[in-house]
Structures are given as structure tokens and as C-alpha cells.
Amino acid sequence: MESPQTNTHPKALLFSVRTPKVTESEAMESMIELERLVTTLGYEVTGTMSQRQPNTSGVTVVGEGKLMELAQLTGGKGYRDRIKGNSEAPQSPSSPTASPTGISSPSETQKARGNSILSGTQQTPVTATTADGPAVVVFDCDLSPSQIRNVEEALGVPVLDRTGVIIEIFNRHAKTRAARLQVDIARQTYQAPRLRDTGVGKERQSGRGSGETVIETEKRKVRDRLAELRRELEAVQREEEHRRMKRAELLGAALVGYTNAGKSSLMRALTGSDVLVEDKLFATLDTTIRALQPETQPRILITDTVGFIHKLPHDLVASFRSTLDEARGASLLLYVVDAADRNFRSQLAVVREVLGDIGADKTPYLLILNKADCLSEWQKQVLRAEYPDAVLTSTRSPEDMRIVSERLIHFFEKDMIEKEILVPYKAQGVIREMRLNMKILKESFTEEGVLLLVRSRPIDLQRLSKMMK
Ligand SMILES: Nc1nc2c(ncn2[C@@H]2O[C@H](COP(=O)(O)OP(=O)(O)OP(=O)(O)O)[C@@H](O)[C@H]2O)c(=O)[nH]1
Ligand SMILES: [Mg+2]
């Protein structure tokens, strides 16, 4: 995302609700990650707060006292009109007229302070908001639509939850048609319960003469739109599946791993492609496929994929499943890990879990402990002992990239066998196919046809013999 203007990033306050289910260090780790997510959205994080609670299901998530404390920072009133019987409150920021996730870009959020995107309490002017106050409060847990609305009413600024932040980042970064459709589905699904929940008290008539209330009309629209998006996505996926099946016969490796681990940097280094590399979370959402360079025979295709994150919203996991299908189709997975991140072990566990979910956990893999240039000699030694089969790399080191390339080539060539094949002159078409997935070592012309000495995977030889029958 483009930053709005230098030094004018709107401010965000992060809030962590500490429940007994989560350890102190897990909560801290999660907050550090939330800060990166929120920064990726273009906000400046000016503070964090936390409170112990038995769970996250309270009407305002946090206690009354804490809410007041927060409200003093945001300039809100610290209590909720609606709960006191104000059923005529205008639509919440999550209303269909606002951004579907209820999230505006920072500049929009600034504009929106005190008007349309803010909820019920905004009818009463905000009393104490200062230019220095947070423009948004972000909770590290998932909040229900009514919780969001209640807290917004008390604080007078938009409130986001972790899922909303992630969906918005995906929304901004998705480019291809498939990725856009997937994000749209996730956004609409995220929005649907919010609509249901905004139906508090007496609902206005939609004015269509059908007796349908505003909320019912909006819900129907969302349902129709979702059905339409799913149909469109299925069509795109059918096309993709067709292309994938064609590629399945080629040698393929997929880069998978936690967001920001360096997958796209590795893709650039291995294939010479110019895929986007950024120090932002979820820079890549669209799958890119390129051949390993210098080109091998047969070619080895490398796929760059969307990154993973802790607590990835289920809707997004589901809608990005097809993107990850590319990973499932690969013969080898390159697990890329940011070894300089002290949480990389838990990040690796998330990657394994998601791959398990999509049925790709049986695929052979090579563990790449990346960003080794940020590690001390001692740290490298410890990692080598802990992961003897892994490769320690820096995508900035051409020598390291050469080693990864060699490991890749070795993986695909180790099971190849040499075989002599006679291709009759009338079956010349198959030679093109052979060049795609076999290494041709020798070629000579005989009376019956072309005699080729090839190195190939047994599976490709079987496929060839079927073609020549
Ligand atoms: N120090 C160091 N930084 C690296 C290395 N590899 C990548 N980076 C940096 O890490 C950041 C993320 O790199 P990307 O290649 O975009 O990571 P990614 O895994 O594709 O991330 P997403 O697409 O967001 O999932 C960028 O700022 C890179 O410059 C490395 O070996 N060493
Ligand atoms: Mg990337």
C-alpha cells in the first residue's frame, strides 16, 4: 500500500485481551505481528494496551473502566447509547455503504472522523478528540459485529479486529482476477453477519413496497453477490485447473512459507523474474510461475505463493485454497523460513498445519532457513545442528542461491534413469513433448526413426510409452 504522506500516518492504538488460554509470550508475539499488519495498512502504531479477561465474549470485550481509559485517549464518551435504548442509531461503520470490511484507508479514516464511517455516538459530537489521539483502535482478537459496534460507540473512532485488518491488506494487494474474486468473497462473508447484527430494534423499510426492511434488502444483496462471485470464481478455477493439469507433467517446485520470509526474493534470485519484493506482510497474493535460470533441460518451474500467518481467517484460508492448490500440485515444496525471526519455529508450525489442511504435507520438501546474513556464526551453528537437512541461505548471496539451485536440480534428477528410445518418423510430435520433460543426451537418425538417449523420471517414460502406443 502506498503511504498517504510522509509523517502524516494516522495513528493506531493496539489492544490485547489477555485470556488464560494464551500465554504471555504468545500474546506478545501476536501483538508484534499485529503491529506489522497495522503498519502495512499505513497506520502509525502509537501505543498498545492490554487487559486480562476470562474470555473475549463480553459486550464491550474490555471492562467498563478500561473502556473509559481508552475513551479518554480517543475522545469518546466511554459508554454506549444503543445499550441504553437508543435503537434509532444510524448504521455502524460496517454498514454496506462503508468499506465492506468496515475499514477505510487511513486518509479516509481521517476524513471520516466525526462523520459517516463512525457509528451511533457520532450524533453527539466527540468531546475530547485531539489531533494526537488514535484514529483507530485495533483489537488482536476477533470481535463480533455487535462488540465492534459497542466499542465504537464508546470510543468514537473506528474499531478493527485482526481478521478485518488481514482482509483489508489482502484487498489492497490482490491483483489477478482470481485473487480479487477470492478477496471479495472473504470480504462479503465477513460482512454478512455484521448486517445481520445491525438489525437492532425497529428497522426502516427499504422503500421498495415489498415490506422488506433495509437489513433484509442488504442481506439479500450480499447473498446474491456472493453467489455470483462464487460462480465467477469457479469458472476462473476451472481454467486454472486445466492449466495446472497440463503443468503437472512438468517438473515443479513451489515456494511456501510464512509471510515476509523471503519467498518472492528467492523467486527473483532463482528465476530472474521481477516479482514484487517488499518488507510488508502479504506482499504476494497472486501465484507466479517461472522457470529456474539458467534454464535446465527439462525446465524446472518455480511457483511463488501467498504467505501464511498465525490465525489466518478461515474464510481467507478457504478462498485461497485454490491458490495453494499450486503448492499441492508441486513435486517439491521449498519451505522458506525467516530464520532471523525468533518466532520462526512457531511460524513453521503454522505453515505445516495449513499444508496439512490442504493435503500437501506428504509432498517432499526442502527447508530453507533464510536471512542467514542476519545471523551470527553461533546462531548458524545451532541451526545447522537442529536442522541438518536444511539449507541456510541469504537471498542476497549469489553463492547461496547457486546452492539452492543445485539442490533443486539434484532433487529432480536423482530418480531419473537413462533410456534409449526410438521415435518413428511418423510420430515426430512426441519429440517436442520429450524435450519438455526429459533430458536428451544423444540424438541420431536411423532408418526407422530418431534414436534418442534420454534421462528421465520413470513416470515420464511411462507417459511417453502410452503416447507412442
Ligand atoms: N536480510 C535479508 N532480508 C531478506 C532476505 N530475503 C528477503 N529479505 C527481505 O525480506 C522482506 C520480505 O521479502 P519477500 O521476498 O517479499 O517475502 P515474501 O515471503 O515473498 O513475503 P509475502 O509475499 O509478503 O508473503 C523484503 O524486505 C526482503 O528484502 C535475506 O536473505 N536477508
Ligand atoms: Mg512474496
Verify whether ligand 1 is closer than 6 Å to residue 396 (CB atom). yes
Separation between Cα atoms, residue 30 and residue 43, nearest integer Å? 17
CATH fold of 248-413, please?
Rossmann fold (3.40.50)
Considering every ligand atom, which ligand is closest to the CA of 266? 1
C-alpha cell at 371: 536471512
Query: Which atom of ligand 1 has the smallest separation from the CA of 260?
Result: 21
Would you tell me the crossing angle of helices 458-468 and 429-437 to the nearest 10 degrees?
A: 170
pLDDT per residue rounded down to tens, the chain (469 residues): 444 445 578 999 999 999 999 999 999 999 999 999 999 999 999 999 999 999 999 999 999 999 999 999 999 988 755 444 333 333 333 333 334 344 444 444 333 322 222 232 222 223 334 467 899 999 999 999 889 989 999 999 999 999 899 988 988 888 888 888 988 988 888 877 766 554 444 455 555 556 677 778 888 888 899 999 999 988 988 888 777 777 777 889 999 999 999 999 999 999 998 888 988 888 888 788 999 999 998 899 999 988 888 877 766 776 666 667 777 788 999 999 999 999 999 999 988 988 888 788 889 999 999 999 999 999 999 999 999 999 999 999 999 999 999 999 999 999 899 999 999 988 888 888 888 889 999 999 999 999 999 999 998 899 888 888 7
CATH fold of 11-171, please?
Rossmann fold (3.40.50)
Q: Is the link from the previous residue into 10 a cis peptide, with omega within 30 of 0? A: no
Tell how far CA 170 is from the center of its chain: 6
Regarding beta strands 44-52 and 251-257, do their DSSP bridges make them parallel or antiparallel, or are they unpaired?
A: unpaired
Same fold? 11-171, 248-413: yes
Domain boundaries, the chain: 11-171, 175-235, 248-413, 417-468
- Bin 272: left if φ > 0, else alpha if -120 < ψ < 50, else beta: left
Q: HSE-up of 205 (CA within 13 Å, CB side)?
A: 5
Both ends of the chain: CA-CA distance in Å? 55
pLDDT for the residue 178: 84
Mutation test residue for ligand 1: of 1, 267, 278, 282, the one with most atoms within 8 Å of CB:
278
Which one, of 290, 342, 469, 330, lies nearest residue 412 by Cα? 330
Verify whether ligand 1 is closer than 6 Å to residue 307 (CB atom). yes
CATH fold of 417-468, please?
Alpha-Beta Plaits (3.30.70)
Verify whether ligand 1 is closer than 6 Å to residue 282 (CB atom). yes
Q: Which amino acid is at 280?
A: K
SS3 content of the chain, % helix, strand, coil (to 5): 45, 15, 40
CB 163 within 8 A of CB 104: no
pTM of the model: 0.80
